[in-house]
Amino acid sequence: MPDLPQKPLPDGQGEGFRVSTASPIDKLVGMIDVLPGGTVILSSVEQVLNWGRSSSLWALGFGLACCAIEMMAAAAGRFDMDRIGTFFRGTPRQADLIIVSGRCTIKMAPIVRRLYEQIPEPKYVISMGSCATCGGPFYYDNYSILKGIDTIIPVDVYVPGCPPRPEALYEGILKLQEKIKKEPFLRRRAGVVPA
């Protein structure tokens, strides 16, 4: 066991505990302590769960328009989205994340809504591109495009751009991971934190 900085317990009881500094678990793990019989890692279950959930966001393989091509490019060889644990599934039942990539027409809106509802909880939405965010270049003088996907489903992260580069989509997913890591996932379920 590495030599870790010691912190005294409050009220001066006991010997104190060791604070983990080993990256990247140091942010996740509360403390590491030596008990008779071995080393244990103490952390909250919620933090471990959130860490796991955020690192394997499976996205729904669903493209709407031009932005979907950049989404495909992000998944292909050069950008390789599998590295951050995101890859595409063919059905909403296996997905955690829907990336709304592109402009959504009024005819398509009920289908996007249904796809969102088919994803099991907990689920997240990334709005990719200006069209999905607000209508983008199709905002004015247009009768067929929805002015923003957030009029029908709740959005967690907006990725701007027309189309956003694959790096921008990456940034969006990483931001979503940060958000998931901070979620009071179990506490909300237990009713400690209001939903």
Supply 165's token pair.
């580069």
Among residues 57 and 134, whose Cβ is nearest to ligand SF4?
134
Query: From ligand SF4, other proteins, none, which one binds at residue 148 (CB under 5 to 8 Å depending on kind)?
Result: none
Rounded Cα distance between 149 and 159, Å, is 12
User: Which one among 66, 108, 115, 174 touches ligand SF4, defined by CB under 6 A?
Assistant: 66
Q: Of residues 110-169, which lie at the interface with ligand SF4 (CB under 6 A)?
A: 129-131, 136-137, 162-163
**Residue labelled with tokens 């008990």:** 35
Query: From ligand SF4, other proteins, none, which one binds at residue 145 (CB under 5 to 8 Å depending on kind)?
Result: other proteins
CB of 131 to other proteins, least distance (A): 8
Rounded Cα distance between 4 and 120, Å, is 41
Among residues 51 and 163, whose Cβ is nearest to other proteins?
163
86-to-119, 146, 148, 177 alpha-carbon distances in Å: 16, 27, 24, 11
User: Which one among 61, 92, 102, 148 touches ligand SF4, defined by CB under 6 A?
Assistant: 102
Q: Give the sign of the dihedral formed by CA 55, CA 172, CA 98, CA 188.
A: positive
Q: Of the candidates 92, 94, 102, which has an alpha carbon nearest to the alpha carbon of residue 126?
A: 102
Per CB under 6 A, residues contacting ligand SF4 are 65-67, 102-103, 129-131, 136-137, 162-163
